[in-house]
A and B are shown apart, each in its own frame.
Chain A
Amino acid sequence: MSARGETRLWLAQRASAAVLALCVLVHLATMIVAVNGGLTAADILGRTRGNPAWAAFYAVFVAAVAIHAPIGLRTIASEWLQWRGRGADACWLVVGVALFVIGLRAVAAVVL
């Protein structure tokens, strides 16, 4: 990949990591509070469904995962499996898109 492409991937991974750090913290803290508060699954769904704030939060979370994970896997495959090149990059792009679609489906199930 070109220098511009590699640098963009590096920037995207760092930026998505920063977003993920915040999202994971909020997600874990919310789960702990919800469980300790004795909320059932139905109670939780009652709060998330139709709530645009939770929808936006988890959509951002999913987007960050879909960006971050394939770039990391691409590096691991390059170093440990010697799997590099355009074919590999195209595969990781598909993985990213798949993560995004699957993740958004899960978000839709919780907020719609």
Chain B
Amino acid sequence: MVMPEPEMLEVDVWRGGCDGSGRFQTYTVPRQDAQTVLDVVTWIQRKLDPTLAYRFSCRVGMCGSCAMTVNGRARWTCRTHVAKVASGKRLQIAPLANLTVVRDLVVDMREFFDKWAKAGGQFTPTASRRDDFARVAPESPARREVDAAIECIGCGICYASCDVVAWNPAYLGPAALNRAWTLQNDVRDGGRVERLAAVAGDAGCHACHTQAACTERCPKQLSPTASIAGLKRMAARAVLKGEL
């Protein structure tokens, strides 16, 4: 019995860095059922070109490390099926935009996470180990705001999709501001005044144009746009009360 030839996929993959030497290289990859974009990249690296650099870890949409630009749009590749994004039998895979390329599909995430720190992304405790557990009512408005924004996996898709980041490299970006918003609504946190000053200054929440590319592309269906709007309202109230 003769097995039918597998359907093939032409995949353009970015190779090299961002120093002008980079270019797309085309690979031919067999199509498979339920094949993800990460499967394609892994197949290329294991079967065709072991020098291809890319980053992944959990493969189940938890770790946020495998985000790439697929056909011009930032996506988490481990949860993106080829059937959903391949136009015809072609696929283009590039590193995330707005970040420095280390090599091939790997970007340097330092700037992305440094901005989390600049936005006051660390929890500031107000209690010691001798204190009782804080009791936060799940139905309280502040806790609901936190719930809506807390599931960020730090994949950088929002950051790569944000035009304001492209225009103003100092802009803190959707993920860092979203993180700050969750902490601003944490009643246990003791750094809210300083954090509000950090996110409302130059290149902070007021730089957002509410274009919502971050919200449209967030693979966890979060809305950094809403979080940033919340920070704007919070900063405005603080200024009107003379607290900022």
A residues contacting B by CB (< 8 A) are: 1-4, 6-11, 75, 78-80, 84
Bound Cα distance A80, B164 (Å): 10
B180 to chain A, nearest CB (A): 12
* A-contact 0/1 string along B221-242, CB 8 Å cutoff: 0000000000010011011100
In the bound complex, do residue A3 and residue B167 qualify as a contact, i.e. CB atoms below 8 Å apart?
Answer: no
11 extra interface residue pairs, beta carbon distance < 8 Å, beyond A7-B238, A75-B207 = A1-B202, A3-B198, A3-B201, A6-B200, A7-B200, A7-B206, A9-B206, A10-B206, A11-B239, A79-B164, A84-B202
A79 to chain B, nearest CB (A): 4
Cβ-neighbour of B200 out of A3, A78, A79, A80 (below 8 A): A3
The answer to the question of B102 belonging to the interface, with a C-beta cut-off of 8 Å to chain A, is no
B144 to chain A, nearest CB (A): 24
In the bound complex, do residue A3 and residue B196 qualify as a contact, i.e. CB atoms below 8 Å apart?
Answer: yes
In the bound complex, do residue B168 and residue A2 qualify as a contact, i.e. CB atoms below 8 Å apart?
Answer: no
Q: Contacts of A3 on B, CB cut-off 8 Å?
A: 196-201, 204, 235, 244
| Number of chain B interface residues as a range | 20 to 34
Query: DSSP class of A's interface residues: helix, strand, loop or mixed?
Result: helix
List the 4 closest pairs (A to B, CB-CB), nearest first.
A3-B200, A79-B167, A3-B201, A3-B197
Q: A2-B201, A3-B244, A10-B232 are in contact. Are A78 and B168 (CB under 8 A)?
A: yes
Q: Contacts of B204 on A, CB cut-off 8 Å?
A: 3, 6
In the bound complex, do residue A7 and residue B168 qualify as a contact, i.e. CB atoms below 8 Å apart?
Answer: no
Bound Cα distance A16, B24 (Å): 49
Q: Contacts of B198 on A, CB cut-off 8 Å?
A: 3
Which of A2, A3, A6, A79 has most B Cβ within 10 Å?
Answer: A3
A9 to chain B, nearest CB (A): 7
In the bound complex, do residue B244 and residue A4 qualify as a contact, i.e. CB atoms below 8 Å apart?
Answer: yes
Q: Contacts of A10 on B, CB cut-off 8 Å?
A: 206, 232, 235-236
B121 to chain A, nearest CB (A): 16
Cβ-neighbour of B235 out of A7, A79, A84 (below 8 A): A7
In the bound complex, do residue A6 and residue B167 qualify as a contact, i.e. CB atoms below 8 Å apart?
Answer: no
Q: Contacts of B235 on A, CB cut-off 8 Å?
A: 3, 7, 10
Bound Cα distance A9, B200 (Å): 11
